[in-house]
Amino acid sequence: MDDYRYLVDFNTKDLVIENYDVVIIGSGIAGVYTALEIPGRYNIAILTKESIEISNSVLAQGGIAVSLDKGDSPELHFKDTIYAGAGLCDEESVWVLVKEAAENIDELCKFGVNFDRKSKNELCLSREGAHSKNRIIHAGDTTGKEVCDKLISVVRTRNNVEIKERTFALDIITDNDACKGVLAYDEDKAAYILYKADVVVCATGGFGQLYSNTTNPEVATGDGVCLAYRAGAELMDLEFIQFHPTVLFHPENKSFLISEAVRGEGALLKNIHGERFMPKYHELSELAPRDIVSRSIFSEMKKTNADYVYLDITFKGRDYIEHRFPNIYKTCMSYGIDMSKDYVPVAPAEHYCMGGIRTDVWGRTNVKGFFACGETACNGIHGANRLASNSLLEGLVFGYKIGTKIEDILRNSKKGQESINLKAETGRRVKNIDTEKIKQDIRQTMTKYVGIARDKEGLEKAKQKIDSYYDMIKDMKNTNIHHYEIQNIVLLSKLVIESALERKESRGAHFRLDFQKMDDKNWKRNIIKRRI
């Protein structure tokens, strides 16, 4: 692939340079928690594309999975995670996740996170799809916001942490295959800045904005995965993209998540004729793994020639629903839907990316000094299909481990950073293109051909279109946020499609109409690395 190493031309002699021990890209639960787990004697910069309060983590509703019940155990949590992952989970990573879950939840409680409780010493536990036990701790139906708000409030008190808002991370600067910092664009100053550090942590979340309908915020354009790729970091499992089964389907809103916890509390899925359908698709019915529920809804929509199905929790009283799901209830009411009386129209939408930057259990990539965690990383925990409420937990457990590993690196490093003298001349040219039009066309193409169900013919149509956009913009001179984003959206769409074409089987969230069975003999992981 004849792509360009950097998005913009630069000469480090001409750049404003700020020195830190660690630079963290992203302000969701993974990035902020990592910052809190790094000792206070080290100087840290957190770069965030918009304000620090905007992230995928903030939008997480359901909760965090942790085995706290007397009848539960890390072993059972491990078993459920492996089952949902459809044979592709890395067992070492999963063991780390389930065994270190409880101690990180204790840490959250010490930071002041207010989870729902049965009593002073006992957290409420609910159940979600593919979990065999009640193990989801939550804070109403806005768990992500509660956790992020508390962590952000704590990190703001840390004198060693500087938060750089409205700062777009463009590229990892490398020299001799080692990380030297992050080249970023400060929107408020309209200036390029090199945040120099020998340790960089990427925690930029997913890439839902490749699709027309997504639960992700507008900032989720895959920037972290792309800057990692351009720096030579390996990517993995990009074809596995999870579509949440139940997202509000309303003319004014097709991105609001109706938490899986609603089905965990007994809500039923019904087609437009009012008929329950999940029992005929899977023995776990509404609590089957997400990929199965999404495909079942997709199938039922096709059978009934409808754009949505219904979620029915009307058998629960209004007081119960309003107390258990206050935000969901309030939002639905704002669209004239009373969950205690009305069925809620829902349809699947892009929600989570199992693939991303390839790491080990310490968050390390193959680029020296470059780490990744949270949704943007891929250490094999989720396999082909993420188990519900393992995502926030992943950010915590591996953010903590990265903090530990970084401490080892910085403790043994020499104080005083070396000077850096690098230049990039890409030869890019100014082009007049409509970036918004291209974005919309790509999203429609990805949704149509690289969605819940795929086949070779559709994937090749998508590839042909994306390749044409890639050839159009690969040498474009990038001068603003829209240019940076479209470069990343096009590149990542291209890589996702190529990975989906490569996997000639159906496994987890990757369903091929032309290869509908799992191939347990010939499967392999799709590992991608930029050919430099």
Instruction: Give Dmax (Cα) for the chain.
Output: 69
User: b or e along 158-169 (b: 16 or more beta carbons within 10 Å of the residue's beta carbon)?
Assistant: eebbebbbebbb
Range 109-117, long-range pairs (CB < 8 A, 24+ positions): 111/36, 111/150, 111/151, 111/154, 112/150, 112/153, 112/154, 113/139, 113/146, 113/147, 113/150, 113/151, 114/139, 114/146, 114/150, 115/139, 115/143, 115/146, 116/140
Write the single-letter amino acid at 261.
A
Q: What is the DSSP letter of 386?
A: P
Q: Rounded to 5, what percent of the chain is helix, strand, coil? A: 35, 20, 45
Distance CA(311)–CA(269), nearest Å, equals: 5
Q: What is the 3-state secondary structure (H, E, C) of 394-457?
A: HHHHHHHHHHHHHHHHHHCCCCCCCCCCCEECCCCECCCCCHHHHHHHHHHHHHHHCCCCECHH
Distance CA(369)–CA(406), nearest Å, equals: 9
**How wide is the angle at C-alpha 247 spanned by C-alphas 105 and 339, nearest 5°?**
90
| Alpha carbon separation from 264 to 56, 62, 186, 268 (Å, rounded) | 22, 10, 43, 10
Identify whether 290 is a catalytic site residue: yes
Cα first-last separation, the chain: 9
Partners of 201 in beta bridges: 24, 371
Annotated active-site residue in 135, 290, 324, 428: 290
- SS3 state of residue 510: strand
Phi, psi angle pair for 196, to nearest 5°: -85, 130
Extract the tokens encoding 301.
């929509």
Partners of 1 in beta bridges: none
What are the residues whose beta carbons fall under 8 Å from the beta carbon of 94, sequence distance 6 or more?
78, 81, 82, 85, 380, 381
Q: Which residues are catalytic?
A: 290
